[in-house]
Structure 1
Amino acid sequence: MAQFGKASSKRGKPSYFMSVLGVTIVLFLLGLLGWLGINSKKLMQHFKESLQVQVYLKPNVNERDRTALQDSLERLPMVKSVEYIDKDAAKREWLKAGNEDFTGFLEENLLPTSINFNLKEQFVDSANVAAVQSGLSRLPIVDEVVYSKGVVGAMQRNFQVVTLVLLVIVIIVAILVIILIDNTIRLAMFSNRFLIKTMQMVGATRGFIARPLNIRAVLNGALAAVIATAVLYGAILLLESFAPGISALFDRELFFLLFLGLLAIGISITFISTYRSVRKYLKMKLDELY
């Protein structure tokens, strides 16, 4: 009987390897989708907060009024950053944009001074930006307030579509992940069905039979999550070597939370699937196992 149990246990080992491999692949794909979701949110935030509102000042504005306006903008909770552009800086931006140098035929720099500021992500929408523009335009020292209206509208529409599409993909992939991992674990338990039934026939309790299998399921789920996360991290580092700009979007804290999520999913599904399979084979008669 002991030899039979040992032989059955040896036959079960390959199935555990395949189950770990299968769960690892599925968790890697889920982790990759999660990482894309995290980065897409940060990318949306980056694009929204890159929108710049330019407040052009009237000529001969005194320094005190200009400083007061700049300070008031910096104190607004919706403003992320403020920058004052004097005539020299405006000239540098003019030339940087590929425009012709006017110093050859003009003695005076006619480019206006401006206070440029960026809004925080949650305040970048058409209504908020339009309200800011209207309020600033009424100030006596302000000549004009300029921002890209078309860009703001396009951002809102495109980000809503992207968010909806990602949500649908996440739901579909989550369902597929649960089904694939459950089928993988059930296949692993199928190869151990005779061992489970044999232990029951010699008087082992359900708890005694299920306990080591459940523990093994938890360890396998955790191992699969660790391997999947390590492979995902390696793939991200490899991707960064080809596209260095991606490193600016990589958030280690969010990646750690992603790892914890994969760990919880891997352990939960493998444990539940193993528990259900063990109960199933314990309830079956010996003839039904063939």
Structure 2
Amino acid sequence: MSSSFEKYQKRRLISSYFSVVLSIALVLFLLGVLGLLVLNAKKVSDHFKEQVVVTIYLKDSAKEVETKQLEKSLAMADYVKSTEYVSKEQAAESMKAENGEDFMDFLGFNPLLNSIDVHVKADFVTAEQLEKIAEEANSKSFVDEVRYDNDLVTLMNNNVKKISFWILVLSGLFTVIAVLLINSSIRLSVYSKRFTIKTMQMVGATKQFIRRPFVWKSVRLGIIGAIVALGGMAVVLYYINKTFPELNLLQNPVLIGLLFAGIFLLGIVITWISTFIATQRFLNLKTDQLYY
């Protein structure tokens, strides 16, 4: 009978420890993923901004030397990330592939123009900067037209500002939630030992002596939970970097290392503080108050 009760108690204890570790790991994992998002928010927004294309259409009368000169000057400009020359033949093939039919069969000629697709650096993707770039290109006598999606640029910049604001708000809110959830799990774990705490106190053990094993046990659980969370973060980071290599998420390993270290230390600090407060509360209670 005694052996069965001991096994039952041991299973309850293991289940309690498992739930604490799982709570800590889940909360720290979500907080870590949010941290990765915060660290790479600008990089992600820059990536989408740099997909905006400014297309410079050239007149049929444009000489090859003029086109080459324009390409060279664009490549050297501080606002340009990359350029690509698209001949009218290439443009016709693209339209044919996109529409599934050759429009030149109906027209008998190719009405398209040679063009240069310019990918602008993210910092210059604003309505004002793109207008200046368009005016500069239009000043060339052999340039027919400059096109870009101004509405898309305005919408993108507005959304980036809104998303950045809400990411910061959510980061602060989620940090508070993380602390409260971990604190709640630790308190429940200590609560199950409240009678043991009071018994030790009644036989003369000091508060520091009683508190120490609880604190170290919780810290160990916090370390295990943090390691599980970091493993999950590493898997997420690996797959995102593999799926979107153009984002270069591993370009700054120092910042990522600091984030991982911060999550690990957070798991230790929160569990230590939570256990200290929880044990202190039960140490200060009178015996008859333990039943409420």
Question: How would you bin the TM-score normalised by the shorter chain?
Answer: 0.7 to 0.9
CA 1:139–1:273 in structure 2 vs 1: closer, same or farther (change >3 Å)? Answer: same
Offset, 1:235: 7.5
Q: Secondary structure at the match of 2:81?
A: strand
Residues of 2 paired with 1:225 and 1:89: CA distance?
54
1:3-18 equivalence runs, <5 A: 13-18=14-19
Instruction: Tell me if structure 1 keeps the 8 A contact 2:86–2:114.
Output: yes
Determine whether 1:251 maps to 2:252. Answer: no
In the TM superposition, what is the alpha-carbon distance from 1:22 to its structure 2 partner?
2.3
- The aligned runs of 1:4-83 (5 Å cut-off) are 13-31=14-32, 33-34=34-35, 43-83=44-84
Q: Could you report, residue by residue, the CA deviation over 1:142-185 in whole angstroms, capped at 9, with x for unpaired residues?
A: 22211011111121223333333333333333222221111111
CA RMSD between the two structures:
3.6
Map 1:208-287; keep pairs closer than 5 Å: 208-231=209-232, 251=249, 259-287=260-288
Give, in angstroms, the shift of residue 53 of structure 1. Answer: 0.3
Check the 8 A contact 1:81/1:118 in 2, yes or no: yes
- Name the residue aligned to 2:93: 92
Distance 1:78 1:90 in 2: 25
Change (3 A) 1:211 1:81: farther
In 2, Cα distance between equivalents of 1:104 and 1:96: 16
Q: Secondary structure at the match of 2:62?
A: coil
Structure 2: how far apart are the matches of 1:122 and 1:222? Answer: 41
Q: Could you tell me how far apart the structure 1 residues matched to 2:230 and 2:247 are?
A: 18
> Could you list the per-position Cα deviations for residues 166-223 of structure 1 after superposition, in whole angstroms to 9, with x for gaps in the alignment?
3333333322222111111111112223333444455544444433333322221221
- Offset at 1:49? 1.1
What's 1:158 paired with? Answer: 159
Contact 1:125 1:153 in 2 (8 A): yes
* Structure 1, 73-82 or 181-190: larger mean CA deviation: 73-82
Aligned partner of 2:116 in structure 1 is 115
SS at match of 1:97: helix
Q: Does 1:102 align with 2:104?
A: yes
**Greater Cα shift, 96-105 or 134-143:** 96-105
CA contact 1:39–1:250 (8 Å) conserved in 2: no
Query: Within 1, Cα distance between the matches of 2:209 and 2:78?
Result: 61
> For 1:200 and 1:76, how far apart are their aligned partners in 2?
75
Distance 1:61 1:235 in 2: 50
Cα distance in 2, alignment partners of residues 204 and 153 from structure 1: 68
Q: Which letter maps to 1:213?
A: F
Alpha-carbon displacement from aligned partner over 1:68-120 (angstroms, at most 9, x marks no partner): 3222222223222111122332332332332634267546x443222211122
AA aligned opposite 1:132: I
CA distance in 2, matches of 1:123, 1:268: 43
Distance of 2:190 and 2:77 partners within structure 1: 61
CA distances 1:217-236 after superposition (whole Å, capped 9, x unpaired): 22212211232344566688
* 1:3 counterpart residue number: none
Shift of the 224–247 alpha-carbon distance from structure 1 to 2, 3 Å rule, reads farther
Q: Deviations over 1:10-53 (max 9, x none)?
A: 57554333222222333344445556666765553332111000
| SS of 2:56 mapped into structure 1 | strand
1:21–1:104 Cα change, 3 Å: closer
Q: Which moved more, 1:220-229 or 1:130-139?
A: 220-229
Cα separation, 1, equivalents of 2:30 and 2:270 = 16
Aligned partners of 1:260, 1:103: CA distance in 2, in Å? 64
CA 1:220–1:110: 2 relative to 1, 3 Å:
same
Greater Cα shift, 34-43 or 62-71: 34-43
> Quick one: distance in 2 between partners of 1:210 and 1:284?
14
Give the match's secondary structure for 1:82. Answer: strand
User: CA separation of 1:89/1:160 partners in 2, compared to 1, >3 Å: closer, same or farther?
Assistant: same
Contact 2:190 2:214 in 1 (8 A): no
Return the alpha-carbon distance in structure 2 between the equivalents of residues 219 and 248 of structure 1.
39
Q: 2:287 and 2:60 mapped to 1: Cα distance?
A: 95
Q: Could you tell me the percent identity over the aligned residues?
A: 35
State the distance in 2 between where 1:38 and 1:92 align.
41
TM-score w.r.t. the length of structure 2 is: 0.76
Q: CA separation of 1:225/1:249 partners in 2, compared to 1, >3 Å: closer, same or farther?
A: farther
8 Å CA contact 1:12, 1:192 repeated in 2: no
- The structural deviation recorded for 1:246 is 6.3
Q: Could you tell me how far apart the structure 2 residues matched to 1:202 and 1:140 are? A: 97
